[in-house]
Amino acid sequence: MTTPLRIAVLSAWHVHAEEYGRAAVDHPGTELVAVWDDDAERGRDLAERLGVEATTDLDALLGREDLDGVTVTAATSDHLEVIGRAVAAGKHVFTEKLLAPTVEACDTLVDAARAADVRLTVSLPRLTHGYTAALRAILDEGALGRITYSRVRLAHDGSTADWLPARFYDASEALGGAFSDLGAHPVYLTQLILGDELVSVRSTYTDQTGRGVEDNASVTVATPDGAIGVIETGFVTPASPFSIEVHGTEGSLLYGFELDEAGAPVMRLATRAGSSRVDLPADQPILFAQWVDSIRAGRALEDTLPRARSLTALVDAANSAARSAAHV
How would you class 155 by CB atoms within 10 Å of its CB: exposed for 0-12, middle for 13-18, buried for 19 or more? buried
170-204 residue pLDDT tens: 999 998 999 999 999 999 999 999 999 999 999 99
Roughly how many angstroms between the first and final C-alpha of the chain, as a whole number?
Answer: 55
List Cβ neighbours of 112 (8 Å cut-off, separation of 6 or more): 84, 87, 88
Question: 3-state SS of the chain: helix, strand, coil percent to 5?
Answer: 35, 25, 35
Query: What single-letter amino acid sits at 201?
Result: V
For 303-326, write each residue's pLDDT tens digit: 889 999 999 999 999 999 999 986
Q: Which CATH architecture has domain 5-125+286-297?
A: 3-Layer(aba) Sandwich (3.40)
pLDDT over 60 (residue 328): no
Cis peptide, bond prior to residue 165, ω within 30 of zero = no
The domain spans of the chain are 5-125+286-297, 126-283+315-326
Question: Which pairs from 108-115 meet CB under 8 Å and 24+ separation?
Answer: 108/80, 108/84, 109/79, 109/80, 109/83, 109/84, 110/305, 110/309, 112/84, 112/87, 112/88, 113/87, 113/300, 114/300
* Dihedral angle sign, alpha carbons of residues 281, 285, 287, 291: negative
Instruction: Kindly report, residue by residue over 89-111, the tens digit of the pLDDT.
Output: 999 999 999 999 999 999 999 99
* Close Cβ partners of 41 (under 8 Å, ≥ 6 residues apart): none
Can you give the pLDDT at residue 326? Answer: 66
Query: Whose CA is closest to 325, among 190, 206, 189?
Result: 206
Calculate mean pLDDT across residues 143-172.
96
Higher pLDDT, 218 or 326: 218
Question: Up-side HSE of residue 147: CA atoms within 13 Å toward CB?
Answer: 24
**Mean per-residue pLDDT of the chain:** 96
Its CATH class, for the domain covering 126-283+315-326, is: alpha beta
Q: How far apart are CA 174 and CA 214, in angstroms?
A: 11
Question: Do the Cβ atoms of 231 and 251 come closer than 8 Å?
Answer: no
In this structure, are residues 233 and 183 in contact, taking their beta carbons and an 8 Å threshold? yes
Q: Kindly give, in sequence order, each residue whose CB lies less than 8 Å from that of residue 139, ignoring residues fewer than 6 positions away.
A: 147, 193, 246
